[in-house]
Amino acid sequence: MNGSATNAFSYLIGTLIDLYIAAVLLRVMLQWVRADFYNPLSQLLVKVTNPALIPLRRVVPSIGRIDTAAIVLLLVLEVFGVWIVSRIAATPIGFPAIITFSLTKLAMTLLMTYFFLIIASVLVSWLGQGLRHPFVPLLYQLTEPVLRPFRRVIPPIAGIDLSPLFALITIRFLILLLGW
């Protein structure tokens, strides 16, 4: 393969793996906040991720509220994705570097997911007061654990909740700390 075809193939494989990682990560996040299981988005994530999670759960039991099988799946998929993309791009890297990069990339995915979920919740709160989409309650359920600590420290000023702003600043700071 020539260079551009290799890059395109590497991009395609990496993107498909990243999309599945995002689905598993969202499922873990929804389980963590005990979101509505019967919500259509929850059902979609369950149906997409069950083929990989059900066999893995036979081997990896849950620990309390933590879906350990899903966490293991996230780590395995991320390591595999980094490894396969490095092989396709013909820039193989060592296993310790793959593990380090995979953990950093997974943390970045989590931070960026929360970053965009908080922005979406702010936009919905401004624009969609009468919005009755099934995604809206999940959006608030997912962002509340991140925003709650900020709401305790920063009271609303003139009726405006500034906690999303400070949460976004903190997330951006963590992203910069990770070197992304």
Tens digits of residue pLDDT in 128-146: 666 778 888 889 999 999 9
Tens digits of residue pLDDT in 92-134: 788 888 999 999 999 999 999 999 999 999 998 888 666 778 8
pLDDT (0 to 100) of residue 1: 56
Enter the DSSP assignment of 154: S
The contacts of residue 40 (CB under 8 Å, 6+ apart) are 134
pLDDT (0 to 100) of residue 2: 65
> Cα–Cα distance between 88 and 11 in angstroms, integer?
10
Place of tokens 């995979």: 102
Tens digits of residue pLDDT in 11-61: 888 899 999 999 999 999 999 998 888 899 999 999 999 999 999 999 998
Inter-residue contact 70 to 24 (CB < 8 Å): yes
Tens digits of residue pLDDT in 60-85: 988 887 889 999 999 999 999 988 88
> Cα–Cα distance between 137 and 132 in angstroms, integer?
9
pLDDT (0 to 100) of residue 91: 75
> Cα–Cα distance between 122 and 150 in angstroms, integer?
15
Inter-residue contact 88 to 9 (CB < 8 Å): yes
Write the DSSP assignment of 106-150 as a string of letters. HHHHHHHHHHHHHHHHHHHHHH-TT---THHHHHHHHHHHHHHHH
CA 154, 157, 159 angle in degrees (round to 5)?
120
Query: Cα dihedral angle (110, 115, 121, 125), rounded to 10 degrees?
Result: 160
pLDDT (0 to 100) of residue 6: 74
pLDDT (0 to 100) of residue 87: 81
Mean pLDDT of 156-166: 89
**pLDDT-based confidence at residue 88 (cuts at 50, 70, 90):** confident
Range of the domain at 92: 3-177
Mean pLDDT of 158-163: 88
Structurally, how many domains does the chain consist of? 1
